[in-house]
Structure formats: C-alpha cells, structure tokens
Structure 1
C-alpha cells in the first residue's frame, strides 16, 4: 500500500470516528432532553402516529406542542378527556395549525431556500403534505372550514402585533377541492354601511367559516377602526356588520361568535376582552376571562371555547364557558393552536 493510500485510509477512518462521536452525542443529548423534561414536571412525550381522521375511539386534541425538548413545535395529540396526559408527537412542525373533517392547514418555517421564509402546507388525515403555498410574512392565524373543504390563513406582512396600529396583514382562502387560491381578501368587493368601499389601508384577519362552505366571518380594519364582516366566497364580497370585533370564531351551530374586543382604559399592549355575540339579536356578553386574550378562540363544543395565554414555555391553553358564566381554567400547559377532532 502506498503512503498516499495509507493517508487516505487513515483520513477516512478519522472522519468515521468523528461521525460516530457526533451521532452518539446527539443521541445522548436527545435522551437527556426527554429525561430532563419529565423531571422538570413537563408532559411525557413520545413519537408516534398522529391522525386528523374523524375516526372512532373518542375525541382528541391535535395541537402545537410547546413543551421544551426534542419535540417542541411538533404537532402532538392527547385524548380530549385527558388534556394534561401523555402526548404523542408527530414529527411535523407548525407555527400555526388548524384542522377539521380530516384536513389540516400548517403554517411553518421554510428553510429550503437561500433566505428563510414561511409556507402554508395543506395536510391530509395522515399529516402528509398535499400542497404548499409560499407566505408573504409571519404566520398568525389559520382555520379550516367545518366540512374540511376550505382553509384560510393570515400573515403579518409588516409589523408583528395586533396591539398597535402600525401593521399590515394578508389573508388568503384556499378551496381544498379545486385548488383555487384567493391570495388576498383585499381583492374582494367591500360593502361598508351599504355602499362599495375602497381604501389603501384595508387589512383583513381572523377568518372563521360557516357550515355551508361559502359564508365566512372575519375582521376588517380601516381608518383606525375594526369591523366584523360577513363574506361570500361565491360572490367575492364582504359586508360590514358592526365595529370593534376582532378574530371572530363561529359556534358549531352558527348562531354565535366569540371575539376579542378592545375595551377603553385597558393598557395599550393588552387591550382586549373576550365577548360573545348573538348574531340574531346583536346582544354582546362578556366572558368570564378578565385577562387580555390575543388569540382566535376555538370552540370545543356548543358551550366552551379555548384560547392561549402566555406561559412558561410560550403558551398555555385555557377554557371558559361561552355564555359568560363560570370561570376560566387552564386546560393544557405548553400548547398552542388546538383542533378538537372526533
């Protein structure tokens, strides 16, 4: 064997040893992270299959796991009857997520290009990617229609908080049956106070869908005010209904909206309270949650809504009755963006 060949063999052996050492270190670190997470009182998390299918076996919650460790930011699931129980993590990471009727929308970081960005990924019931769409900004809201036929998402194009006024959003709606993408609700005809309306400062966010897979509600901001709008996807119109409504969420029976409302004299950085709106009568009812909630609530059933508040690892989920009674209670620690399935 020549000297040059001996040197090449030795170099290859050194590289192999280094690779083995790095793998062993990462493996040990991963196990240590999982062990430390359990010792710190966090939830037990294991890798496994996560499904969005409306199968039997009881209701379940699929959500973004915020617990620190190797499965942080992955979609995970727990039985709805045991929300603080052991979690099954999917390996699929999302910043924002929602699902219904076997279809999911996952807003995630995209590191495949020269510059980091974001994308909206349509997921099937097995969390496999069906399609992907580049996003123009930072993910903030996501929704799937009750029948699983439509998906909507909102991103911050400029700014990163709803608390102030210096921000710009873009809201898109995708028909999962046909693949048609309405890239921006700003292209829809706006009927404000019964008249066509146009303005350069229009922003939309927080879509929620009705069961007819055509009607939706959302927030429209213009002229320093926010408005609840009802949208018609077939007619490509939105109509203003009332002021000071943000991030509406429609009840399963389609009769009520829970939304966040700006309340005078609250701090500028925490200005909201949760309210319920009866669509027939127009009556508003404050919910029992007195903290400022910057989230679009999710209905667990006809009586209860769930939302996020800041927690030790980013966010915790809380539940409160939607009729103004009772008191808020923590549902899950270290969790965000839940979908109640089954």
Structure 2
C-alpha cells in the first residue's frame, strides 16, 4: 500500500435527505473533510427557529453560512454554498457581506436575501466587512465597513456605515449626513465615524455609535427625521433588546480591550453580564435576557458563547462567529 493511500477513512452517513461528513485527516495532518458534523443538501430558510452563523471549523465548508436549530445548537451544522464574512437576518430578510476576492483597494459585496436565502439585491461597496444588521421588520438592512484612505482618518482607516431599504430600493451609502446633537448643540467635526446600527421594532428609531475626538457616543436617532442625539458615552456596537428596554454593547476598558455591558434606557443604569473576557463584536440578543457573542479561543479562531443578564456564560457553538437568530 502506498503512502498516498495511508489516510483515515471518511465516514459518510445519510440523514434526513442530507449527508453528514466527519473529519478525515491525511498523513500530514491536513483536514481532508469537515472537522465537525455537517449536513448538506437540505434547504435553509429564515423560519424564526434557526440560529445562523459563519462556520469556522476546518474543512471544505469552512467560511460558509451554517445553521442549527435555535433549541439545539449542538446539532450537525446545515450548510449550503453561501459564503458570508458577516451575516444578519430578521423577519424574512437577510444581509450577507462578502469581501470581493483580489480587490485592491478592498471591495465588499452586499447581498440582500429573502426568506429562502435567495438573492434579491446586490451592491458592491468600498471597504472590508465589519458589522451587519437587519431591522426587526425586515425592511432595512445596514452595514459597517472599514475603509482605508479617508483623509480625515489619522489612523489611516475609518468606518463607513450605510443602509438599504428593501421595499423601495433606496440606497444610503453612508449616514455621515445624519444631524447629530451632543449636549443640546448640533455637532460638527471632520473626524466623525459611525458604526454598529441597531433598529427598534418600528423600523424608525435606531441607535448607532459615533466616534469623534477620542470619544465614542451612543446616538439615539429618528430615521424619518434623520437626526440623532447623544445619550451616553463609551458605547460601541450597540444592540437593542427585542423589548426595546436595553442596549447591549462593547465598553472600552482602560487597557484598550472591551467588555460586555448593558445599558437600561429608562434608568441609564449600566450592568455587566458574567463575562470577563474581551468581546470585540456587536452582541446579539437571543431573547430579552440572553446575549450571543463570539470570543477568541486558544486556536486563535472564534467560538459563539451565550450569557444571561444574571446567569453564567456558556459555550454555544465552537468554531463559529457572526450569529443571527431568524
């Protein structure tokens, strides 16, 4: 038997019309198949009972959009052929951000999908994917990109946040024209950056981070009036709870890392869930009391964890990121 044939056999099982493949490793240790159970050949749909994420487990399906039942996150991962660097979904609408290969400067494909994850609209936008969200009514998708070369960015890069109205086709490539008031006065500065939009249930009220002159502000905004007001500081990547009562976000520590924090919008009280590790992403509310978020692991990839407002953190999906419930 030749050395080329000395490989571990690949186990293939039939499951509900799909195939589950497990890891097989060649003699040199390289992954020949998926390192976790993966189901292929099954349709994926936004049904309100599914947890979507980007699969980071080694194998041919790494980087693809994957799905598990929300009530059984340890189940075999369903995958199709959709690759997304960032993904979000709500009310039958999804957004997929995908870095365009070999683009210089960087370009991103912004793809709007329907409930069956079929493409409805596509735009090519400058920058690399950073954040993505869909309004709870499914009518607006929004994104944030990292963009290099803006003259006002002392660090050499900036963020650009935009919106797309699914029903009307209106495209707002940047929200930099949003009228913002800080301390009761209209705020003007050349270094303003916005990122991390989160919409309220009505599809009109939204929150976003604004950064300028070394500070970050939580902006509460009215989409139709296109104006916003700073209501808090040191708030990044806000995420509004389904009941509209709380904002979960990244709070910067003195050492420059971030931790999870939750702001009660009525009382302005800030609390911290039982998660002390650095979290550098926009959290997702699983319900009104539980958050989902990625944390870097020992393999220098990411795992999706959950934590309650008053309960401990637990590992939800290993080798995964950009979670979205829909």
Residues 214-223 or 110-119, more deviating: 110-119
2-side partners of 1:238 and 1:280: how far apart? Answer: 17
Q: d(CA) in 2 for partners of 1:328 and 1:91?
A: 32
Structure having the higher helix fraction is 1
1:278 matched residue in structure 2: 264
Match of 1:70 among 16, 41, 60: 60
Q: What residue number does 1:297 align with?
A: 283
Kindly tell me: are residues 50 and 310 of structure 1, through their superposed partners in 2, closer, same or farther at Cα, counting changes over 3 Å?
A: farther
Q: Secondary structure at the match of 2:24?
A: helix
Preserved CA contact (<8 Å) 2:22 2:36: no
Deviation at 1:68, TM superposition (A): 1.1
Could you list the runs of 5+ residues in structure 2 that have no partner in the other structure?
A: 1-8, 13-20
Instruction: Compare CA radii of gyration and give the structure with the larger one.
Output: 1
Distance apart, 1:111 and its partner CA: 3.5
Query: For residue 35 of structure 2, what is the aligned residue in structure 1?
Result: 42
User: Is 1:131 the counterpart of 2:121 in the alignment?
Assistant: yes
1:161-200 alignment, distance < 5 Å: 167-200=157-190
Deviation at 1:42, TM superposition (A): 3.4
Deviation at 1:165, TM superposition (A): 6.1
Instruction: Give 1:191-270 correspondences, 5 Å limit.
Output: 191-264=181-254, 266=255, 268=256
Q: CA RMSD in A?
A: 2.6
Structure 1: any 5+ residue segments left out of the alignment?
1-27
The structure carrying a bigger strand percent of its residues is 2
For the 8 Å contact 1:169–1:205, the answer to whether it is kept is yes
Cα contact 1:46–1:87 (8 A) shared by 2: yes
SS of aligned partner of 1:254:
coil
TM-score (normalizing by structure 1): 0.81
What is the aligned partner in structure 2 of residue 320 from structure 1?
A: 307
Give the count of matched residue pairs: 300
With structure 2 as the length reference, what TM-score do the two structures score? 0.85
Q: Distance in 2 between matches of 1:169 and 1:263?
A: 21
Contact 2:23-2:35 within 8 A present in 1 as well: no
Check conservation: 1:43, 1:84, Cα contact below 8 A: no
Maintained 8 Å contact 1:138/1:156: yes
Q: Distance in 1 between matches of 2:322 and 2:104?
A: 29
1:186 alignment partner, SS class? coil
CA, structure 1 residues 38+302, in 2 after alignment: closer, same or farther (shift >3 Å)? farther
